């Protein structure tokens, strides 16, 4: 396991544990998400907004690439489970959306508001051991989150292959 360090962006630190409700009204924990491998945890401002829809559909369109990388994709916003259910159905999203109604998890991960008012758009790559391996923020470039996530997952896979060889 990588040495735990303290830094301002959380990379190298343990990801904060959480329990949130998904679009199907199920309780989901970070630990349960990590059981299957690395996690792409992305925070976004709002269901059905233009940038958030583009980002969600980008993750959807690259979903098989994430599966091939052994990773799970999960989106988080303050929208209700019902809003997430409608958003996921409308755009055929094959991944989990979590409702962070009080923004407690957003705050725990240090995701700040853009211009002080728009909930931040940040993506975290968390390895199977629960360590944050990468953090990426680009409020106005939602599709960069998909490419950046896949790039980091490939690096982690290469790193893993090198250590087991």
Q: How many CB atoms lie under 10 A from the CB of residue 96?
A: 19
Q: Measure Cα distances from 105 to 30, 112, 154, 162 in Å.
A: 11, 11, 27, 34
Identify which of 121, 143, 123, 145 has the alpha carbon closest to the alpha carbon of residue 134. 123
Residue 4 pLDDT > 50: no
Residues 80-128: tens digit of each pLDDT: 999 999 999 999 999 999 999 999 999 999 998 877 788 889 999 999 9
Report CA Rg, the chain.
15
Annotated catalytic residue, options 40, 52, 76, 125: 52
Tell me the pLDDT band of 161, cut-offs 50, 70 and 90.
low
Tell me the pLDDT band of 130, cut-offs 50, 70 and 90.
very high
Q: Report the pLDDT value the prediction gives residue 7, as an integer from 0 to 100.
A: 44
Residues 43-84: tens digit of each pLDDT: 999 999 999 999 999 999 999 999 999 999 999 999 999 999
pTM of structure = 0.90
Q: Is 52 labeled as catalytic in the residue annotation? A: yes
Q: Report the pLDDT value the prediction gives residue 9, as an integer from 0 to 100.
A: 62
- Locate the domains of the chain by residue range: 19-164
SS3 28: strand
19-164: CATH number? 3.40.30.10
Can you read off the two tokens belonging to residue 53? Answer: 């829809």
Residue 165 pLDDT > 70: no
Q: Report the pLDDT value the prediction gives residue 116, as an integer from 0 to 100.
A: 77
Tell me the pLDDT band of 142, cut-offs 50, 70 and 90.
confident
Tokens 């975290």, residue located = 124
List, in order, residues 6 or more apart from 61 with CB less than 8 Å away: none
Residue 139 pLDDT > 80: no
């Amino acid at each position: 396991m990588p040495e735990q360090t303290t830094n301002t962006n959380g990379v190298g630190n343990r990801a904060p544990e959480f329990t949130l409700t998904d679009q199907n009204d199920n309780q989901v924990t970070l630990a349960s998400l990590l059981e299957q491998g690395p996690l792409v945890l992305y925070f976004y401002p709002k269901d059905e907004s233009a940038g958030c829809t583009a980002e969600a559909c980008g993750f959807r369109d690259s979903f098989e690439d994430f599966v091939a990388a052994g990773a799970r994709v999960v989106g988080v916003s303050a929208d209700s489970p019902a809003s997430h259910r409608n958003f996921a159905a409308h755009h055929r999203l094959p991944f989990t959306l979590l409702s962070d109604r009080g923004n407690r998890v957003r705050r725990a991960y240090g995701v700040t508001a853009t211009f002080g008012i728009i909930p931040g758009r940040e993506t975290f790559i968390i390895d199977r051991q629960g360590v944050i391996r990468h953090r990426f923020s680009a409020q106005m470039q939602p599709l960069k989150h998909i490419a950046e996530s896949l790039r980091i997952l490939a690096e982690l896979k290469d790193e893993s292959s090198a250590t087991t060889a």
